[in-house]
Amino acid sequence: MASWNTCRAIERDPDKVSGAWVFRGTRVPVAALFENLKDGATVEQFLDWFPGVERWQAESVLDHERRDLQVSTA
């Protein structure tokens, strides 16, 4: 499981979006990225739909998850 505390692109605040992990400086839940990708959206579409999220943030989250999965399967 990813240790999201080390990913600087996101933050969690108990007073923001019920304490869900969100993209830093936004109210967009990180889960929204994964849900949209699962449903067939591209990263580009996600960024268009959620203009507060920057490309580096989405890429950072995906890279973080990829690294965690590589460690988990090693």
12: left (phi over 0), alpha (psi -120 to 50) or beta: beta
Taking only the tens place, the pLDDT of each residue in 51-65 is 999 999 999 999 999
**Does residue 2 carry a pLDDT above 90?**
no
Taking only the tens place, the pLDDT of each residue in 10-48 is 999 999 899 999 999 999 999 999 999 999 999 999 999
Whole-model pTM: value is 0.87
20 vs 68, which has greater pLDDT?
A: 20
User: In this structure, are residues 19 and 25 in contact, taking their beta carbons and an 8 Å threshold?
Assistant: no
**Does residue 1 carry a pLDDT above 50?**
no
